[in-house]
Amino acid sequence: VEWTKEERYKRLEEIPAEQYQALLEETTQSKWRQHFHIQPPTGLLNDPNGFVYHEGLYHLFYQWFPLGPVHGLKYWYHVTSSDLVSFESHGPVIIPDTKYDSHGAYSGSGIVQDNRVKLVYTGNHRDSDWQRIPYQIVAALESDKVTKKTIIEGPAPGYTSHFRDPKVWYENGYYYIVIGAQRTNSTGTIVIYESDDFNDWRFKGELGTEYNEFGYMWECPDYFELDGQDVVLFCPQGIEKSGDQFNNTYQSGYLIGDLDKETFRMEHGEFTELDNGFDFYAPQTTLGANGERILFGWMGLPDTDYPTDAENWAHCLTIPRVLSVENGRLRQRPLPALEKMRGAVETAEGYAMKHNIKLHPYEGSCYELIVDVLENESTEFYIELRVSKKESTRLIYNRADKRFTLDRFDSGALSEKVEGFTRSVVLEEDLTKLQIFVDESSIEIFLNNGEKVMTSRIFPRKDATGIRTSTESGQVYFKFTKYDLT
C-alpha cells in the first residue's frame, strides 16, 4: 500500500486516542512480536539514537514513526535501563514541533555535558517547495522533556542537504561532532565540527580517508578510541556488491587506524562490514558503566519491505554488543549482562553425520544456543533452526573454504527487494564456536567469539521450533548448550 505525503506527515498528537489504541492492539497481536529485543509499540522503528550512560542509567532512543510501517514524520522514542537487559519505556521525547525539525527529528547522539544529558540531532525541515534543509540541534533532556537550540544551520558550503546524523564526543577540552554528508559532486564523506563551550561550533573540514569516491552518501558516522586505535563507523550508500561483500541495499562498516586530531586525516585499513547478515544498519555506540564500548544496531534496512508491514509495524534493534580491537580487527561479543536472561538450560553432545539428526526435545523459538565444534571432519556441516515440516533456517559451514553461510530460502515469509537468499562470510580461523540468539522473528549469530556476526530477521510460523544437524559427508562432534530466553 502506498502512503500519501499527507499520511506520512500526520502527527501522533492529532489522531484520536481510539485510533491509536486500535494500532496498539493490532501490533500486540502480531505473530512476529519479539521477546527480548527493543521494538516499537506501533509503527516503524529505525536507527538507535542518543545512546548515553548517566548516573547509573542508560538512555537509549530510536527513530520512530508511530502511525505505520513507513518512513514518515520521525520522533525520538525514549527507553532507559540500568543494565541494558530490561528497559523502561518513556514514549516519544523529541517531538518534531519546531520549524527546524518540522519534517522529522532525525538521527543523532547523546553526551553528558554540565552533568546533564544533551542530545544532538538533525532537524529535517522542508520548505514550501519541498526542498530539504538540515539543522543540527541540541536538545537538553530533563525529566522526559527537552529544550531545543539550533547550533548549525543548513549544510556547510560544498555539501548538499544530505547533511545529518551528528555524533558528539568530548576530548582534551574540546567537544567534537562528526556529521554524515554528501559533497556537491555526489560523493559521501564525514565532516567535523569543534567547540570549546558547546555553543559555538567551528567547521573543521572533512575526516580525511582513502575512500574519496565510495558511494553517494555516508549516513550515521561514529568515532571512538578503542584499545589504543581510532575507529570510525559509517554507513555508505551506493556501494556495488562484490562477492560475499556489500550484498545489502546499503552498507554499515568500520575503519580502524590512526586519526590525526590536528589535520583530521586518518591512516586506516580496509573498510569492513560490521555485520554479514541481511538486516543491520545505522549502529551507534557509547561507553558503558565499566568503560566498555557498547553498540546497538537497527535490525533493518531502508527501502525494503518486511512481512510485518502487513501488520502495520516494522523493525527492532539488535541485542547490545561489546566491541574490542584484536589484531587490528573489530570483535563484537554479546553484552555479558545478557546472561541474566538465561532460563532453563539443556545440553547435548555427540556426532552429527550425513543423516539428519533431530535434537530432541531440543526446540524453541526464543533461546540462546551455544555450539562448540569440538572435532570437525565434515566437508560441510548444517545446523538448522526454526524447523517445521516446511520451514528451516539453515546455517552451513564449509570446512575447506572456512566459509559460513546463512540460508533463508525456507525460513518462512521473506522481506522483499532483497538480493538473494543467502549471506556468507569467510572466517580467518576454523569455526569452533557459534553463539546464536534466536527470538520470535530474528537470529543473531556470533562466530568464533565475535570474529564475525550475522544478524537477520526471519519470519517463520509459530510451529517452526525444531533444531537439527547433519553433514554433507564426514562427521562433526558438537556440544550444544541451549538456554531458554522466554
36 binds ligand FRU (CB under 6 A): no
Helix (H, G, I), strand (E, B) or coil at 259: strand
- Is the four-CA dihedral 134, 135, 140, 142 of positive or negative sign? negative
Cell numbers found for residue 72:
514518515
Which DSSP symbol is given to 271? -
Minimum Å gap between C-beta 274 and ligand FRU is 14
275 binds ligand FRU (CB under 6 A): no
Strands 116-126 and 174-183: unpaired
273 binds ligand FRU (CB under 6 A): no
- The nearer residue to ligand FRU, 236 or 412, going by C-beta atoms, is 236
- Judged by CB under 6 A, the residue of 152, 179, 220, 255 near ligand FRU is 220
238 binds ligand FRU (CB under 6 A): no
Minimum Å gap between C-beta 154 and ligand FRU is 16
* CA–CA gap between residue 485 and residue 363 (Å, rounded): 12
Minimum Å gap between C-beta 232 and ligand FRU is 16
* CA–CA gap between residue 220 and residue 240 (Å, rounded): 19
- The nearer residue to ligand FRU, 59 or 315, going by C-beta atoms, is 315
Task: Say how many residues touch ligand FRU, by CB under 6 A.
Answer: 14
- The nearer residue to ligand FRU, 302 or 350, going by C-beta atoms, is 302
Q: Which residues contact 149 (CB under 8 A, 6 or more apart)?
A: 137, 138, 139, 140
- The nearer residue to ligand FRU, 177 or 436, going by C-beta atoms, is 177
Which residues make beta-bridge pairs with 113?
116
- Judged by CB under 6 A, the residue of 48, 72, 79, 165 near ligand FRU is 165
Q: Which residues contact 4 (CB under 8 A, 6 or more apart)?
A: none
Exposed/middle/buried for 13, CB within 10 Å: 0-12, 13-18, 19+? exposed
- The nearer residue to ligand FRU, 68 or 412, going by C-beta atoms, is 68
- Judged by CB under 6 A, the residue of 27, 34, 39, 46 near ligand FRU is 46
Helix (H, G, I), strand (E, B) or coil at 431: coil
Helix (H, G, I), strand (E, B) or coil at 34: coil
- Judged by CB under 6 A, the residue of 302, 350, 432, 449 near ligand FRU is 302
284 binds ligand FRU (CB under 6 A): no
Minimum Å gap between C-beta 359 and ligand FRU is 38
Minimum Å gap between C-beta 403 and ligand FRU is 30
x-marked contacts with ligand FRU along 69-88 as a string, rule CB under 6 A: -----x--------------
Cell numbers found for residue 389:
515440516
Compute the half-sphere exposure of residue 424: CA atoms within 13 Å on the CB side of its CA: 16
Q: For residue 467, how far is the Cα from the chain centroid?
A: 26
Q: Confirm whether 47 is a catalytic residue.
A: yes
With residue 445 as reference, give the H or E element that holds it. Answer: strand 442-447
- Judged by CB under 6 A, the residue of 102, 109, 122, 469 near ligand FRU is 122
164 binds ligand FRU (CB under 6 A): yes
Closest CA to 90 of 141, 149, 156, 17: 141
Minimum Å gap between C-beta 415 and ligand FRU is 16
* CA–CA gap between residue 216 and residue 230 (Å, rounded): 24
63 binds ligand FRU (CB under 6 A): yes
- The nearer residue to ligand FRU, 47 or 451, going by C-beta atoms, is 47
- The nearer residue to ligand FRU, 74 or 331, going by C-beta atoms, is 74
* CA–CA gap between residue 185 and residue 236 (Å, rounded): 15
Minimum Å gap between C-beta 472 and ligand FRU is 39
Minimum Å gap between C-beta 65 and ligand FRU is 8
Q: What is the DSSP string of 194-219?
A: EESSSS--EEEEE-B-S-SSS-SEEE
252 binds ligand FRU (CB under 6 A): no
Could you identify the residue written with the cell 569455526?
431
Q: Which of 47, 222, 230, 279 is catalytic?
A: 47
- The nearer residue to ligand FRU, 79 or 220, going by C-beta atoms, is 220
302 phi/psi in degrees, rounded to 5: -70, 165
* CA–CA gap between residue 81 and residue 79 (Å, rounded): 7
219 binds ligand FRU (CB under 6 A): yes
Active site residues: 47
Please report, as ranges, the residues that interact with ligand FRU according to CB under 6 A. Answer: 46-47, 63, 74, 106-107, 122, 164-165, 219-220, 281-282, 302
